[in-house]
Chains A and B, each alone.
Chain A
C-alpha cells in the first residue's frame, strides 16, 4: 500500500483547497517542494524543485512548511487502521504500509474485493493510494509503485517482467548503470547471466531480484501495539460508600501497577473515572511528584479526590488510566537508600492535589547579575535540587518590586521615608553598579544602570537601595535580615 501524497493529503484533509498546493521543506540550503497535490503536479511542478522556482512557474501556488513528525504519526494512525484487514501490518518506508493478508482475504470476499474495499475507504478519507498485491513483499512493492495491479499467484514474472528495473528497490546509481547496459526491464535482468551481474553490482542486486520473484524469503514485521495503561471494573450492583470505592480503586491499581512493572514504566498522571448509574461520569485526576508504580503508595493519594466525588444513586463502573507515563527502570535496593526521599515525594504529591503541583517550587541557580534573574523558580516535582549557591556580593534575603523614595544626588539620602516610616541612615555601603543585560529586553531595567547601596538605618532596618544615574531616582528593592 503506497500513499503517494501522504504529507499533502494529511494537510488537505484538515483544510481542503482546489488550487495547486505544496508542502515545503528546507533541504540543501533551500526551501524545496516536499509533497504536492494533483493540481500542482498538473502545473508541471515536481518534488525536489526549489520553492522559488515553483512559485515563478505557478504564481497561485499555496504552500505550507512540512511537518515530518506529524506525517509519521499519521502513518502510524493508518497502520493501526489497516489492522482491520489483517493482524500483520508493518511500515514500508516513510509513506507505505505492508500487509501480510495470507489467510485473511477470504473474510472480505477474496483478494480483489479486499483491495477494492481498501481503495474505496481510503478514497473517501481523501488519501491517494496505490496498492500492489503480490506473492512477495518485493513484488507488491514493485506493483504499488510502478503500475498498480495484482500478480497472479505463482507467476510473479508475468506481472513484473514488463516493469522497469527501478521497481526492484534499487538505488539510483545501480538503476542508471543497468539502463546503460541495456537492462531496462525486470525480464531483461532475469534473462541475463547472474554471475557477471553479481560480480559487477554486488550481491544486493541479485538479492532484490530473488526477493521480488520469491526465491528468497522476506518477512513482514508487524509493529508492536503500544502498551495501554488502562484498567476498568464493572460492578453488578452500584456502590456508594467511600471505603468501597477505595477498595475497588485498590484492585484496579494493583492490576495497573503490575502492567507498569512489566514495562518498567511509572505513572505521572492517573485518571480515575467513576461512572454512575445515571450514566454521569466523574473524574478524579492525580498528579504525582515522581513517576510511581507502587500501589501501596499511590492509593492513599487518591483519598482526597475520591472523598469529593458525589456518588448519587451509586457507582457501577470504575476505570483507571495512567494518562502520562515515564520510564522507571527497576532499581537495586540497597541498605543505604532511605525512605526519606519517597516520603517527601508523597508529601509533595499530596499537597499538589490541593494547590496544584506547579505551586510547590524550589530555587535553582541562574547565571545573571540582575538580582531578579539570579535564580530560577522551578516546580519541585519536575526538578532536582541544584547548587552551589555563591552570592557575588552580600544580597538581601527578601526582594520586592522597587519602591520609590525621595532623594537626590548620587549619595544615599540622609533621611528618607519608606512605607510611612521615617528612617535615618547610619551607615551606607556601596555603590555596587549593576548594568542591565542589553541582550534581554526588560521593562524594569529601562531606567538604565543601577548603583546599589546597602543601607543600615539608625532604626535598625537594613535596606537595599539603588540609584539610577541615567534617570535620577532612588528606590528600595530589598531588605536584609
Chain B
C-alpha cells in the first residue's frame, strides 16, 4: 500500500478539495496549521462545535472565523464570496448534502479568482466531480502515539493516488509522514 509518490500537501492553491472519513476534521485542522487565517462555515443546526482549546495545539484559534448559515445554499453563497475575495487563504465547508456539478464548479472558479484554498468536509460518498482531490482520512490506533492518522487520496485530478500515515510532531508543530505500521524497520511484522 505504500506509495512512492510524495504526499500532495500542502493542498494545491486556487482549487477546492474534499475530505471524508472519520478523520476529516483532523485533516482540516492539519490544513489550518499551514495557513494563518481560516473561515469555517457550518450550518447552525449542527450540534457539533469546534473547541478552540483543542485546536490551540495545532493552530492559532484567534485567526479562525466561524460562519453559521441557515442552510447549505447560504453556505455555498458565503463560501463562494469568501473564496473569490481571497482575504482568507482557507475556507472550510461542512457539507451535508452532495454538491452538483454546477455548485462544485462555481466553487472552483471562485477559488481560482481569489487564489485561495477551499476544503469541503463531506460525508462519505457525497463527493463532487469538480473537486481537485478527495482524501479519505481515518484515525488509526498506535500503541506509542495518539495522533496517528491515515490519509489516502481517493481522487486526484493532477497526480496519482496514494496512502500516507501521518502523526503530529509536537516539537516541530507539523504533521510528519511516517511509514505505515507493520512495515517499520525493527518492528516484528516488518516486511523485507
Contact = CB atoms under 8 A, between A and B. Distances in A.
Contacts of B143: 426-427
Nearest to B149: A481
A481 B67 CA distance: 21
A340 B37 CA distance: 11
B49 interface: yes
A276 interface: no
B22 A375 contact: no
B191 interface: no
B47 interface: yes
Contacts of B66: 360-363, 377
Contacts of A389: 52-53, 55-56, 60-62
A391 B56 contact: yes
A380 B41 CA distance: 14
A391 B81 CA distance: 33
A176 to B, nearest CB: 63
Residues of B contacting A: mostly: mixed
A396 B54 contact: yes
Contacts of B77: 354
Contacts of A202: none
B22 A350 contact: no
Nearest to B69: A355
Interface string B42-72: 0010011111111111101111111111100
B61 to A, nearest CB: 5
B87 A347 contact: yes
Interface residues of B, number: 47
Chain A interface size, under 10 / 10 to 19 / 20 to 34 / 35 or more: 35 or more
B26 interface: yes
B99 interface: no
A233 to B, nearest CB: 30
B139 A351 contact: no
B139 A460 contact: yes
A400 interface: yes
A309 interface: no
A401 B48 CA distance: 8
Interface string A360-374: 111101000001001
Contacts of A471: none
A460 B26 CA distance: 13
B51 A398 contact: yes
A398 B29 CA distance: 11
Nearest to A341: B87
A258 interface: no
Contact of A394 (B57, B70, B78, B138): B57
A67 interface: no
A457 interface: yes
Contacts of B13: none
A177 interface: no
Interface in A196-223: none
Nearest to B84: A347
B87 A343 contact: yes
B140 interface: yes
A443 interface: no
Given A375-B52, A459-B141, 8 more contacts: A344-B37, A359-B68, A359-B69, A360-B67, A397-B54, A397-B58, A398-B50, A481-B23
A478 B141 contact: no
A462 interface: yes
Given A351-B78, A478-B54, A359 B85 contact: no
B119 interface: no
A386 interface: yes
A72 B171 CA distance: 61
A460 B140 contact: yes
Interface in A300-356: 340, 343-344, 346-348, 350-351, 354-355
B90 interface: no
Q: Which 10 pairs of residues, A with B, have the shortest CB-CB distance?
A: A481-B26, A389-B56, A385-B62, A363-B52, A397-B54, A460-B139, A395-B54, A343-B87, A391-B53, A395-B53
Contacts of B67: 351, 355, 359-361
B51 A456 contact: no
A350 B86 CA distance: 13
A480 B139 CA distance: 9
